Structure 1
Amino acid sequence: MDHEQKLLPGWLYDKHFCTNADLQRLFGVSRSTIDRWTRERPNFPKKFKLTDAHGSITRYFTSDVARYLTSVTYT
């Protein structure tokens, strides 16, 4: 995991979860592109929902994002 995390920028390195906005910033793309990649790219990090009494929010595991970066950087 150490090697994978080195690919993450400093502002994302210490986060356990990523938001859609984090991924948009990281890849320089729109939210609709992130949504499309989630549907169309089998190795793209899977999103999940965190819910409470007030609703739900979408997140991605930062470790999954780091693994994805490794796969697209070194293949």
Structure 2
Amino acid sequence: MESDCKTIPHWLSKKHLCSNDDLQRVFGVTRSTIDRWAKERPGFPRKVRLGDEHGSIVRFYTSDVQQYLSRITKA
């Protein structure tokens, strides 16, 4: 089920980058849904890969998540 939040929660607002787990918690969806949205939804926050060819982690800019939430709640 998708969350009806208009802004990011306070616990997330203190972070510059957020994880897939953070987005799952904010939107109330699974990791596969986050991955699908990242591919299919225009304007969904882009993934930021941190690391090198030997290993990396995926994060999202918290400011991009906030902007996205603002746009989808106005629609």
TM-score (norm 2): 0.86
Per-residue CA deviation, residues 51-71 of structure 1 (Å, 9 max, x unaligned), is 058621000000000000000
Write the distance in 2 (CA, Å) between the matches of 1:42 and 1:16. Answer: 22
Report the equivalent of 2:3.
Answer: none
Q: Superposition pairs for residues 1-75 of structure 1, below 5 Å?
A: 7-52=7-52, 55-75=55-75
RMSD: 1.6
**Structure 1 unmatched runs, 5+:** 1-5
**Structure 2 unmatched runs, 5+:** 1-5
Q: Counting helix residues as a fraction of each chain, which structure ranks higher?
A: 1
Query: What is the count of residue pairs matched by the alignment?
Result: 70
Flag as ranges the 4+ runs of structure 1 deviating above 6 A. none
